[in-house]
Amino acid sequence: MDVVTAVLLNDNSHPSRQPNRHRHPNPKVDVLTAVRYSLQHDVSAALATPPVEGLTRKKLGALKAWLHALHHWLPQQSDGGVHATGAGELISLLGSGSTLPTPSEWDGLLKRAGLSAPANEWVACNSSQPQLHAYPCSLWLLFHTLLAHASEPDALTTLQAITSYVINFFGCQECVGHFAVLAASLENNLRDMAMLHPKGRDRAALWLWTAHNKVNERLTSEEASVASRNSKFHEFVKVQWPPRTGCATCQQMSRPLNGAPPEAHWQSDEVLHYLMESYCLDPRYECWTALAHARSHKPAAEVSATYGLYALYGIAVLIVASACCCGRGQNAPCAAATGGKRKTDHVV
């Protein structure tokens, strides 16, 4: 049984579910493939369309902010820092100019930066329909990983870079429209969270998690309405992440006195810890030290149980499809083949 199938089937006997800090059910290869795909396809396609008059500088700023986030917060153990270094090289190659490169110029820059290798290798985000699911899934993994690795002073800036990348470069315009609606409330949302979560990194991670679950909730409804006409949707099952089977402490259930069904209330501190466990992939970042410190104050049994939880978020999804699934399935979530059984889409 491969890693992805084990995660999807919640196989707690798989090695990736044991308390070993160096094994992750969220393969770094998917995160790095998403980097190349975003630069080779999304950015290149956007450069082929002349920006609206007066918005060239804004688009160039969004591109540089995205490259800056990649340069500073990508995991580097699996590739020796090639992708992070390449992103930094692209920033230098763009220089201080105020014009965007043409698609052909951009392709040349990617070659010089060592980021032109084909972006078609997915592990956790392998799918029977990779053209629809693999990249959106891996892009979600990339977004959450960048926020997990971002330092406290840079986390909110990194979130802004993510939202600006989606709005300016993501290829599905319907998806971009949905995501822009979510992003329009970003500043107010972050301000509302400040009292309970004063740390910027916590607020950034929670905002993206909340947005992701909102997207999934909407898509569940949209896809149900077209499932009979589009068999693609039958392959995936969307749920709010994390489910109780993955993190029993992330939701608190209450039963109204009037006999109504039980209601689930998210416990944000537990969700934050689970996010960090799922996406802190490299020991060179602050999150790694924070997790080690947190585990050192837990009984051994609880530490083991915590590790038994970390898989589910890593495989899901739909990116900013994140805000969409272009109702035609263009950004439906991804997952690996599971022997003909329905797959869990957003385990987020």
Per-domain boundaries in the chain: 3-9+17-344
Nearest to 230 by CA among 315, 131, 330: 330
Q: Which amino acid is at 235?
A: E
Q: Which residues of the chain, if any, have pLDDT below 50?
A: 1-25, 228-229, 231, 233-235, 299-348
pLDDT (0 to 100) of residue 53:
72
pLDDT (0 to 100) of residue 179:
92
pLDDT (0 to 100) of residue 223:
64
pLDDT (0 to 100) of residue 54:
75
pLDDT (0 to 100) of residue 293:
85
pLDDT (0 to 100) of residue 261:
76
Residue 117 backbone phi and psi in degrees, to 5: -60, 145
Model confidence, pTM: 0.78
Under 8 Å between Cβ of 311 and 7: yes
Under 8 Å between Cβ of 295 and 303: yes
Under 8 Å between Cβ of 333 and 318: yes
User: C-alpha angle with apex 344: 213 to 251, nearest 5 degrees?
Assistant: 45
Strand partners, 237: 344
pLDDT digits (tens, 9 = 90+) for 183-226: 999 999 999 999 999 999 999 999 999 998 888 787 777 766 65
Q: List CB contacts of 75: < 8 A, sequence separation 6 or more.
A: 28, 31, 32, 145, 149, 281, 282
What is the C-alpha to C-alpha distance for residues 259 and 44, in angstroms, rounded to an integer? 55
Residue with token string 């965007």: 100
